Every structure is written in structure tokens, then in C-alpha cells.
Structure 1
Amino acid sequence: MAAAEQGQGQGPTGGGGGFFGMLSFRRSATAVASFDPAQDDELLALDGLQSHVADRLAALLIHAQAAQGPVLSLGFLSKLLDAVSSSSDACFRDILSLAPVAAALSRPPADRLAADLLDRAVKTLDVLNSASLTLASLRGAHRAALAAASCLLLHPAAPCNSRAQFARARRAIARIIAADDNSSSSSSNNNKSQSQRGGGNSTMRALSLSVSRNWSAGRSMNAMAAHLAPPPPMHQMHQAAAGAGCGLGLALYTMSSVLVFAMWALVAAVPCQDRASAAISPPVAPPKQAQWAGSMAALQDRIADEWKRRDKSRYHGSSSSSAMTPTGAGGLLAEMQAVERAARDLNSLLEEIAEEDDAEETQRCEVVRERAEELAAACRALEEGLAPLERQLRAVFHRVVAFRADLVRSIDNSARTNAATAPTQYHSF
């Protein structure tokens, strides 16, 4: 009730305030007029989701601002996926557990927003599956990069005059380029071949049965972002419908926004199947009144700027380095970019040495070893972080499956409850 009393005097901000002003207004009205503990619980649960999302996104923004390089690192993705799973597991389920709130799921405007959230949850599963399979398919390229570095570091005290070693390293680096060129299709091909072979390995790598050859990360993201808008302001709705769904509508919109933003960031970081058609512009335009709007907008702008710079450098790079296209078809994951840079630098040095005589080649021995050590360190950092990320992708996948099942059950229960209730008995909060 103390929280409710703090809301006194904070009336609706006008027509533009919409649902966001409605929450603080209802808290004040409840404290002064009704003293209804049930409504207090509902308001606290609804506000709890907004506060939780705002806190998680604020922490992500601090992480991004502290980053010296690309914002999309393994640590950032781990925090982002945790925000998705924690919101769907705890805060939103707290809302669904409240019978009066859940009863509004099958009434306008919440029914349409709930259906959209169910659809976005399915598309979220597709993106998670594609990202997991892509990471698995790129492991061979990372091992090749480590092999390229290792063959130059086997005998650090020996004279560095073996052109055979250099040729072997260049062949290994070439595998990284091939994996990059084929990354858009390798995930589905990899999954298909694993399913045909059977065994436990395919179960560990595939989150669901397969990724269709025709599936597109870009089209899926564009569909998820389409029609994503806050619930209409209360003055544009019938009074009864507004009372039935205003707070729940905001909760549904918030969950959709979190899913769309998180999957857009994941597609930007990891080279999912047909990622190129994904929109670079931020997919969510949250209203300024939302607690989490500022943090999400800042994060989206930061990622979009890096995406644009990445694509610009890819298509306007120097001709001498055109063979080394960005690892993962422009993936922004910081650790992947570190492997790419180290591999490109080593490859360029080896190409220069291949055109020199033996005396000049021997003089570059120390430089070759330094570049090889940089590549080996980048590969180890990536390998150490990939396994936990893949486990987290699987965990979030199963949590979203369970969350969607709970939402479907709640909608069905709401429809049955409303069918047995007089149409005029709407719940108001």
C-alpha cells in the first residue's frame, strides 16, 4: 500500500499517456477509494514486470557502455538471454496467476495482443534453433583457425623457414573463409545430416527437429517486428474494454518487445540462416513513458550503428583483403570478430612472405609467431565462451516453449470463464 500511496497526485498524462499513465492513476485511485487488496496485488504484479524489464535493460546498457569494442559479446548475449528467460518465467507468470487479470486474456484488446505474442514466441524458437545450429556448424572453422596457429607454434625455438608450415596455415585459414561463405546454408545442412545419422550428438545440437531450407532469419525478424505497437490510449477504447485490458495489454506488449529486441540482437551477433534480409534499423519503438524505453532505445541504436559500420566495411574494404570476408557473414559477436581479425592479419602476413626470398622470410619469424599467438588466444576465448552460450540457448528455448504453453492454457481458461460470466461483469484495474 505504501507503493500505492506514492502514486497519489500522478494522474493521467492526457491522451498521450495512454496505458502508462493509467497504471499510476489506478494505483492512486485504489489507495484512496477502494482499498482493495486484490487490486493492489494486480497493480504490483503489473508494475513488477515493467520494473524487472527496466532493471535488466539498464544493466545491459551499462555493460554496453563499458565495452571497449563491439557491444555484442558473449557476456552481453548471456545477460540478454537471461533477461528473456527470467521475464517469461517469473514476472509474466505472476501476472497470469492472478485470476481477474488472466480472465481478460480472451477479451479485446488483450486477445489480439496475446495472439501476437504467441506468434512471436514461435518465431523466437526458430531464431534460437537457427543460432544454435549455426554456432555448431562454425566450430569446424574455429578449430581450423586454431590449427593454423598451432602449426606455426609447435617449435618456437626452430628457425622459421618452413614454407610447408606457412602453406598449411594458409590452407587452414582458407577453411574459415569457406565456412563464412557457406554459413547461411550450413546450419540447415548440418542439422539434416545429423538427423540422418541419429545419436545423442544431434540431440545436443538441434533444439528442434530442423531448420527449413526456405526459412529466413531476416523475414522472420521482419514479421516479428511488424505491427508491434503499444496498446491504444484509453480514450480511444470503449470504457469496459479499457478496464478489462489496460494493464494486461501493456504487459503483453512489453513481453513482445523484449522477445523482438532480444532475437534481433541475436541475429545481429550470430550469422543465422539468411540473416542478410534482416532490417538494420531498430525493430522496437517503445513509447517514452515506458520505464524501459530509454535503455532499449539506446541499446538498439548502438547495435544498429555497429551493424551499419560492419556492412559498410564489408562492401568497401580494400581489394587486398577481399578474400577475408567477415566471419559469419557480418556477425557482430565480439569474440568472432577477434578471430576474424587475427586470422586476416596472419593470412596477409603469410601472403607477403610467400613472395619473399628465404632471407627476408627468416627475418619475419618473430612477427609470424606473434600473429599466430594472437589467433590462438582469440580461438581459445571463443571456444571457452561458445559452450556456455549454446547451453543457455537450449535453456531459453525450453523456457519459451513452457511459457507459450502456459499462455495458451491461460487463454483457454479465460475463454471458458468468460463464456460462463455475464458480459457486463468486467474486471477493472
Structure 2
Amino acid sequence: MGFLGLLSFRRSPIAVASFDPAQDDELLVLDALQAHVADRLAALSAASSSPGPLLSLAFLSKLLDAVVSSDAAFRDALAVGPVGAALSRPPADRLAADLLDRAVKALDVLNAVSLALASLRGSHRAALTAASCLLAGDVAAPMLHRAQFARARRAIARLFPDARGGGAPTTPSCSRAARALSFSVSSKNWSSGRHVHAMAAPPPQGLAPAAGCGLGLALYTMSSVLAFATWALVAAVPCQDRGTTSAVAPPKQAQWAAPMAALQERIVEESRRREKKGSSSGNSSSSSPSSGLLAEMQAVERAARELSSLLDEIAEEDEAAAAEDESEPSPSPASVSEDRARDVVERAEALAGACRALEDGLAPLERQVRAVFHRVVASRAEVVRCIEHSARSAAGSASAGAPPPQPHSF
């Protein structure tokens, strides 16, 4: 298995087909999976090479598309009889068990991400409320009353409960069980960080892909794709107990290792840059690990902070003016000056636009996350079915006195 097994890692099917033509179909379909995953990740990396945040709603949608298409290529490989039959034989059996375990963890993380996205939609409606109550009048000649300012500040306080104008949005716990895809993440002790860290662990000892076979690399490929996708989702949205999660360490000989590593490096750099920015500004809440890197969410929070800062500045000016006029107390005017009102309206419009962009993109992404959840369920069931069918066939052959199946180079 050593020499032929290593050859089966190569992308060129001609190199391996010449040794055993009977295995051409199996080797071609396994090689096609590697090429497909490499092409999808390379396309993601190329499309995300422009400056600016990487983790946007559009990027996450493309990433989940890549997971679905990679899963389809993996299931095409399992549909080839000898490939599916080899799942119950060493060393593929242990790598298959590892994939099944990671699939369960991925389901829990996808569930948590679905809940987080639903919570983001609810909590960021507070920001839209703040903007809407300041945009109710005539934009050309705004007349803003202090009562509108008070309502806007209360709405922003619901978005940032820890500190006015800063911090991470809350994740309401109401209806968590009703919205959940499963009940595992309802526990207070559940941690998305621990799940992602466990998924990023290397394969079982002694089963590194380079020491196994082509089927082993296919199994490890799907494990790595699931681990990378869930890691990126948890980095983007504020899931329960994110903590500091580890990235996947792809094997260097895999075709998809380079683009996956490049994407991971960019995401890690974004996280470090945000933490550095938060620490340099003295706002520890902005660098909290509970905050997500989703570009649209950050745009809402940034616009809300800017509006909140302006409203606080106007309130401080009113207080200072009232303190100077203590000798001759007079009621404060109900509205602010036209110049100040225009500044407030401008920032409120920016906040409303950021809220609409977030709201419009979150609902489709929620549906996509749920679709991937059910896709992973179906794929895991297919792997289990192949293992059980292979085990039954092997047991039947043994009871009939048939010779054991010959090992394949893949």
C-alpha cells in the first residue's frame, strides 16, 4: 500500500491508472474530489483578495455553497462501489469514524450559528428603530425634538447594553429552543469554541493522510472542509462562548491546502487587527471575543456608535448651557438648531442603510445555514449506510468461505 498509496495522492489520474486499470474509476472520482475542493477554495480566495473585510454575508454564502458542492463530490465518490465498500476496512474505518464525529460537532455549531443569526436580526432592529425615529420628519428641513433624541438613545442602549455606544450586541435567549435545529446548544455549558477547537485537531494518531490512502485523504478532506467552514462562521457571528478558536492545519500535500491556509491567514489577521484597534482605543468591549467579524454587523455597530456619540455630545452641550444659565433659569428649547439636526439626520441615514444591508442579507444566510445543516445530516447518514453495508457484505463473504476483498491502492 505504501508506494501505490502515495501515488494515489497525485492529481494526474494517468500516473496511477497505468498500474491497475481496474481501479481507474475509483482513482478518478477520488482525484476529482480533491480537484473540486481545491478549485472552490481557490475561487473563494481569489474573489476575496480585494482590500477590506473578508467575512461578509456574500463570502459566507459562497463558502456554504462550496461546502454543499464539495459534499456532493464526496458522495459521488461514495457511490462508486469499491470506494464505499472500503469504508469499513483499515485505515479508512478510523478516518470515517473521525469524519462522523466531526459531522456531529459541525451540526451543533451550525445550530448555534443559526440561533446567532436570528438573534442578530432581532437585536439590530433596535438600531433601525433609533434611526427611524430621527428620520420621521422632513429631511430637507429637519426639525428634531429632544424627545426624538431620547427615544433614539434608548434604542441604541438596547443594542449596546454594556456601554452606551460600544460593546457587542446581545443574544436574546427567548425562543432559543423553538428556533433550534437541535437541543444540544440550549445548555449554558455548551461552547462553540470547544467544538471548533476539537474539529481543528489533527487526524487520529498514525492516520495522517500521507501515511494512508486516497480514500483516507478524501475522508480527511471533507473533515477539513467542515472544520474550516464552521470555524469561519463562528469567527463571523457571535456564537455562545466563542473564546479563541484554533484554525485548521491542512496537510501540505493536499491540493486545497494553499487556498485554505490563505483564507485562514486573512481571517486571523482581521481578528488581530480588530483586537489591536479595540485595545488601542481603550474600548475593551469592541475587542471582546464575543463580537463577530461579520462586515455588515460591524458597519451597523460603527454607525450606531457614531450616532450615539453625536447625541451624547448634543446632550452635554445642553447640560453645559443649562449650568451657565442657572442665574436666569429658562426652559430648554424643544428642538435643536438646523445645523445640528442635519448632522443627526446624516448619521441616522447611514445607520438605517447599514441596518437594511444587514437585515436583507441575514434572512437568506439563515436559510442557507439550515440547508447545510440538513445536508450534513444526510451525508453523515450516507457514510453510516456505506459502512454498515460494507460490514454486512464482509460478514456474508466470511460465512460463505469467500476470500477476503483485495485491498485497493486508494
TM-score (norm 2): 0.86
Contact map agreement 1:53 1:87 (CA 8 A) in 2: yes
Paired residue total: 383
> Does 2:328 match 1:364?
no
Q: 1:325 to 1:288 in 2, by over 3 A?
A: closer
**Corresponding residue number in structure 1 for 2:82:** 100
**Corresponding residue number in structure 2 for 1:112:** 94
- Give the Cα separation in 2 of the matches to 1:55 and 1:100: 26
> Does 2:218 match 1:218?
no
Contact map agreement 2:214 2:409 (CA 8 A) in 1: no
Q: 1:181 to 1:54 in 2, by over 3 A?
A: closer
- Give the Cα separation in 2 of the matches to 1:217 and 1:332: 15
Identity across aligned pairs (percent)?
Answer: 63
The one-letter amino acid of 2:47's match is H
Per-residue CA distance 1:201-233 (angstroms, 9 max, x = gap): x3xx33224522211010111111123479447
State the Cα distance separating 1:360 from its structure 2 match.
Answer: 7.6
- Give the Cα separation in 2 of the matches to 1:410 and 1:29: 28
Q: Unpaired segments of 5 or more residues in structure 2?
A: 319-332
**Corresponding residue number in structure 1 for 2:10:** 24
Q: 1:226 to 1:82 in 2, by over 3 A?
A: same
Contact map agreement 1:134 1:183 (CA 8 A) in 2: no
The structure carrying a bigger helix percent of its residues is: 1
Q: 1:331 to 1:19 in 2, by over 3 A?
A: farther
- Give the Cα separation in 1 of the matches to 2:59 and 2:209: 34
The 5-angstrom pairing of residues 117-266 of structure 1 reads: 117-155=99-137, 156-178=139-161, 183=170, 186=172, 189-192=173-176, 195=177, 202=178, 205-209=179-183, 211=185, 212-228=187-203, 231-232=207-208, 246-266=213-233
- Give the Cα separation in 2 of the matches to 1:176 and 1:213: 22
**Corresponding residue number in structure 2 for 1:55:** 39
- Give the Cα separation in 1 of the matches to 2:110 and 2:132: 33
Which stretch of the first structure deviates more once superposed, 107-116 or 326-335?
326-335
- Give the Cα separation in 2 of the matches to 1:326 and 1:144: 22
State the Cα distance separating 1:182 from its structure 2 match.
Answer: 6.9
Structure with bigger gyration radius? 2
State the Cα distance separating 1:190 from its structure 2 match.
Answer: 2.6
Per-residue CA distance 1:294-353 (angstroms, 9 max, x = gap): 11010000000101122233344246xx7x747993200110011011001111111111
The one-letter amino acid of 2:226's match is L
State the SS of the aligned residue for 2:406: coil
The one-letter amino acid of 1:135's match is L
State the Cα distance separating 1:84 from its structure 2 match.
Answer: 1.0
Q: 1:312 to 1:108 in 2, by over 3 A?
A: same
The one-letter amino acid of 1:309's match is R
The one-letter amino acid of 1:224's match is M
Contact map agreement 2:244 2:289 (CA 8 A) in 1: no
Per-residue CA distance 1:76-117 (angstroms, 9 max, x = gap): 0001111111211x2111111112112211122111111110
Contact map agreement 1:228 1:257 (CA 8 A) in 2: no
**Corresponding residue number in structure 2 for 1:355:** 316
Contact map agreement 1:314 1:330 (CA 8 A) in 2: no
Per-residue CA distance 1:217-275 (angstroms, 9 max, x = gap): 101111111234794476x6xxxxx6xxx110010010011000000000000101101
Q: CA RMSD in A?
A: 2.7
The one-letter amino acid of 2:230's match is M
Q: Unpaired segments of 5 or more residues in structure 1?
A: 1-11, 196-201, 237-241
Q: 1:425 to 1:328 in 2, by over 3 A?
A: closer
State the SS of the aligned residue for 1:364: helix
